[in-house]
Chains A and B, each alone.
Chain A
Amino acid sequence: MVQLLRSGKVIDSSPLDFAASGAPLTIGTADKTLGAGDPLTEDPIPAWTAGDGEDMVATAARSMKLAPDRTGLLVDQSGGFDHLKRRHYLFVADDNTLKRVWTGEEGAGPAWSATILVDVADGHGQDLVYLTGFQPGGASPDSVDAKRYSWDGAQKTLVERPAGPLYAIVAGNFANPAAARTARVQTCLADYSALPGRDLGISGTPIVLAAITTQKSLAQSALGKADNCPVSLTRRMVEVKLTASPDAKN
């Protein structure tokens, strides 16, 4: 439950999709599976966890500077044990009401997602980058998509705009997704996706292992760390532009 307070009094509230059990909350830092922040960052984000086993729900909240005079609350949740699912929400206060203006929701299956706040060029606010991935297994390669949202003060909501450049640490060159996944297991590249080289603008490379980030500095840092892996794969950083596949309208 997210509550809007004024002078210490609750004036509005909004439930989250994943209801935590009545078990006591424990506070710690979000692990990578919560999808709160850039996949390659190691900055700690506080998170609350309740329940255990399949009832486990973890929740993190961060402020998002939408504009010089407006702040939103970005909430990330994960639920489950055997399979994890994530939800992400942006709440804003509008007069005396609390509005959920954006939701990121994973569908069924081996999906992952992450919300990343990035400073806009003029330094007056932040954009939200929503990274989503899918790891279907079998003969199909993994996929990663990125969407970028900015605050629209007139519409009082987030609006999508071009994702802009992202950075990928690219490792190896594989004939097919299965070969890439085998290499992924044998190395310390568990968080990498087996992506078609063409998706990253790399020609002549059927499948690569790649980790996507919003910041060049994180990519450079990860590149250094990857050198410590026991199995050597040729790695490099590339600037990429990902776009979500347009879905059919029902």
Chain B
Amino acid sequence: MPSITASVGEGAVNKTHDVALVQAMLRIVTNAKNLPYLAGSYDGSYAAGTKDAIISFQKDHAKVIQAGQSGKEKEGVVEGGGTTFATLAAALPATHKELRIIPNTKTVYLESVSSDAIASAAAIRSDAEFEATFKANLASLVDTIYAEHRIALWITPTGRRRTFAQQAAETQTHAGPGESNHNFGRASDIGFRGLRWIQGNGAIKKDDDWLNSLNGVSAAKANALWDARDALAAKIPLYRLQFERIHLQLFDQSTFNNPRSLVRLLNTVGKAKWDTGYKSDFGLGGALFPVGSAKQIWAGSATVTKADLANALTAKTKKLVKETDIKVQQIAETQKALKADFEAADRNWIKWVKVP
């Protein structure tokens, strides 16, 4: 059931979202000639066209509007609890009965069905690949946004935890295996489940999880809906990223560093000693040597040099090991051991701790 927060019309409060909703209703409802009361697209801006549409609707439904109240409702004004609005809502076709709009936005949409939100929250709560606090917060967001705005959120097909192997296959990221927030069950891509929004002509548009259709029409309108999601998320709290809207995570990104957090996990569950910049002692207990990027280490091609390995073995054995003594097989085994630490981090993703 649609509702407005303040009056719309001549000399009225005319909040953008209220105007947009009334305009959309006047665009959908038709007169005796089967023409919409509002000729143009709804836009949330009150102007002469909206005024004329309200008055025209009131004249056509004068008896009903006047019968529903003690005094005549002011011409050209739609009050939240007034009979003009109630009559307009009653005139909506069955397909458009559940119109909604979020305060400070301009996009009218249809309520999602409650079963979608319930199923989504249940799936999150039972997801063993999410950390406990995160999944509680994420499920709470799904519950809250449905309660507040009747919108169902759900996790996108690629929005759950990613294994290190899955991360290695990602192309649109700078995060290597173990460097993504998605690798540790504390982040998710959570979008709008089949949001049906009302186009300017009153027709229903069913969007995808990412609001690509709405974004194609107006990035500002799509961003306003993401902002509404994130406003509720911030209270839980869940945090967004600077550039990507679909993503939410347990921690404020400005409070930690992904590679440094991975290094801590490697030191917790791995056999070698690790330091920032992916330096490792090769498990030999001496100095640390740079071994390449997370992608290289995961691929089994860590940058282990014969010189570094010789130095590490010299320190370990207290006997001089020359670079020429190092065999290709030893390099390969060291690379394999370094990858094994990454695999241990992948298995023990729940032990990840954020490091500034």
Residues of A that sit less than 8 Å from B by CB: 18, 33, 53-56, 79-85, 105, 107-112, 134-140, 184-185, 190-191, 247-250
Known interface pairs A136-B156, A250-B217. Does A54 touch B242 (Cβ–Cβ under 8 Å)? yes
Cα distance A170–B293 when bound, in Å?
31
Q: Is chain B's interface secondary structure helix, strand, loop, or mixed overall? A: loop
Q: Which of B199, B210, B243 contacts A250 (CB 8 A)?
A: B199
In the complex, chain A residues whose CB is within 8 Å of the CB of B211:
107-108
CB-CB contacts of B210-228 with A at 8 A, as 1s and 0s?
1111111111011000100
Instruction: Collect the chain B residues with CB atoms within 8 Å of residue A18's CB.
Output: 243
Q: Looking at the assembled complex, report how far the CB atom of A56 sits from the nearest CB atom of chain B, in whole angstroms.
A: 7
Most chain A CB atoms below 10 A, which of B174, B243, B247, B253: B243
Given contacts A53-B257, A137-B158, contact A248 B173 (CB under 8 A): no
Total A-B residue contacts, Cβ distance less than 8 Å: 129
CB-based contact A107/B172 at 8 Å = no
Of the A-B pairs whose beta carbons lie under 8 Å apart in the complex, a sample of 18, sorted by A's number, is A53-B253, A54-B241, A82-B173, A83-B172, A83-B246, A83-B247, A108-B211, A108-B215, A108-B246, A109-B191, A109-B209, A137-B156, A137-B157, A137-B158, A190-B171, A248-B199, A248-B203, A250-B199
Per the bound structure, the CA–CA distance linking A83 and B253 in Å amounts to 13
Residues of the B chain whose Cβ atoms lie less than 8 Å from the Cβ of A137: 156-158
B199:A249 contact, CB within 8 angstroms: yes
- CB pair B169–A108 under 8 Å, yes or no, is no
Q: Which residues of B contact A138 (CB under 8 A)?
A: 156-158
Asked if B258 contacts A190 (CB within 8 A), the reply is no
Contact B201 A83 (CB under 8 A): no
Is the C-beta of B91 less than 8 angstroms from some C-beta in chain A? no
CA distance A24 to B175 in the complex (A): 21
B15 at the interface (CB under 8 A from A): no
Question: Which positions 291-335 of chain B face chain A at CB distance < 8 Å?
Answer: none
Residues on A with C-beta less than 8 A from B149 are: none
Establish whether residues B214 and A83, one from each chain, have CB atoms under 8 Å apart when the complex forms.
no
Please give, as numbers and ranges, the residues of chain A lying within 8 Å of B244 by CB-CB distance. 80, 82-85, 108-109
Q: What distance in Å separates the Cβ of A25 from its nearest Cβ neighbour in chain B?
A: 17
A53 to B172, CA, bound (A): 14
Among B222-250, those with CB < 8 Å from A are 222, 226, 241-247
A134:B212 contact, CB within 8 angstroms: yes
> Pick the contact of B205 from A79, A80, A248 — CB < 8 Å?
A248
Chain B, 181-218, CB within 8 A of any chain A CB: 181-182, 187, 189, 191, 197, 199-201, 203, 205, 208-218
